[in-house]
Amino acid sequence: MSYLENKRIHIDSVLKDVGNTALDKLSVLYVLPLFLDKQQRDLVQSKYIEMIEADENGTQNILSYESLVKKSKGLSFISQLFQEIITFILFLKLLRSSVKSYTTMHLFVFPSVSFLFQIIPLMILGKFYRKNVVVEFFDFKNYYYPEESGTIPRFFLKLADGLIVPSIRQSRTLNQRKINAVSFEKQVQTNMLSKRVIENVQPLILVSTYLEDVFNVNCLLKAYKLVKQKYPRAELVLCGSGSQQKEIENIISDSSISGITLKSSDEAENLFSEADVFVHCYHIEYFAQEIQQAMANGIPVIASPIGMVNDLIQKENILMYQYNDFSTLADNLLLLIENDSLTRKLSINGAKFVSDLSTLKSSENVVSFYQNLS
């Protein structure tokens, strides 16, 4: 049985305690106007697992371009543009017939999705059918778009019944501008994880990330090179996918540093039970899901103090380094290798911190968010 299925079984039992009447009144259609990769689909399914309707054919209430056609490869620019326009028109027609049976339409903005030319038309359709419209941003390339957008996008952001952004700071800023923004993080289910305490770092350094511009690969490689010089046995595993994957592979290849392995995001789940250290390398505010998962597995974490890292994680649970400060990152890695008592402390404290985050509260956050939409 997969981890995702285990999570579904656990959350179902939790929601019985909360009361199924709340869910009976809610029906959410998750709308993603793009061809999903596995990492994007898993993100939606894991974060909103209690709201996903599943049958033997898969998920019923996640609507993406795969519902229409398979992605074509090797097309010219003009052919690709034409295909995207036709696909979006067909997607609008499919959404029009699908959304009528739902109370809420939840839209996702990923890097390849245009807010102006895709999200706004979908919002208009949702509002036409008097549905609650939620917009959630996972756009790394235009991370500050909700704050820096012009008059027309800002008008539609205000029109949304809910806007989900990656940090509490960002939600507060948008609330001051009369935009109904929130930020909440899906908690990791700890009962399915094997309990372990790390006190001897080998080290096997794990980085689970989106391979986008926001991933600070150069800082990571500089720090790892310093660690490797002192501890040749050190290994670094990068798990992820994204638009910058080829560029990052080239950077790693050009660095000529041994002991680096690049794996798909599918393989990250197994590595959480093997890694000694987890490093978080974003230089923008971002959801701390991977950090929580590492801590739940007893893995000491090193991260930049940004976004939900600051909002959720207390300093006694992780080690911090400032953006682009590869020297401090390297020092922290060496500290964990050489200081067994500190490693043990962070391993125990981190696991306890995540365990203390109430699963029930997390479930209620998701359900109550949809219930409280205007």
Q: In this predicted structure, which of 39-53, 168-182, 313-327 has the lowest mean pLDDT?
A: 39-53
With H, G, I as helix, E, B as strand and everything else as coil, classify residue 243: coil
The residue type of 119 is: I
CB 58 within 8 A of CB 89: no
**Does pLDDT of 272 surpass 50?**
yes
Q: What is the pTM of this model?
A: 0.70
Estimate to the nearest angstrom the gap between the alpha carbon of 369 and the chain centroid. 18
Asked whether residue 234 is assigned to any structural domain, the reply reads yes
- H helix or E strand, kind and range, residue 303: strand 301-303
**Does pLDDT of 250 surpass 70?**
yes
| Shared domain check, 157 and 203 | no
Q: How many whole angstroms separate alpha carbon 188 and alpha carbon 320?
A: 21
Residue 22: band (very low, low, confident or very high) from pLDDT cuts 50, 70, 90: very low
Asked whether residue 9 is assigned to any structural domain, the reply reads no
CB 228 within 8 A of CB 257: yes
Asked whether residue 103 is assigned to any structural domain, the reply reads yes
DSSP 137-189: E--STTTTHHHH--HHHHHHHHHSSEEE-S-HHHHHHHHHTT--EE---PPP-
| Shared domain check, 268 and 212 | yes
**Does pLDDT of 29 surpass 80?**
yes
Q: In this predicted structure, which of 159-168, 176-185, 186-195, 248-257 has the lowest mean pLDDT?
A: 186-195
Instruction: Write out the residue range of the structural domain in which residue 141 sits.
Output: 17-187+359-371
pLDDT digits (tens, 9 = 90+) for 123-159: 999 999 999 999 998 766 677 788 888 899 999 999 9
259 φψ region: left (φ > 0), alpha (ψ -120 to 50), beta (else): left
Estimate to the nearest angstrom the gap between the alpha carbon of 327 and the chain centroid. 27
How long is the chain?
374
Q: What is the CATH number of the domain that holds 292?
A: 3.40.50.2000
Predicted local distance difference test score (pLDDT) of residue 191: 54
Average pLDDT (23-49) is: 80
DSSP annotation of 116 reads I
Q: How many whole angstroms separate alpha carbon 89 and alpha carbon 95?
A: 10
Average pLDDT (197-216) is: 84
**Domain total of the chain:** 2
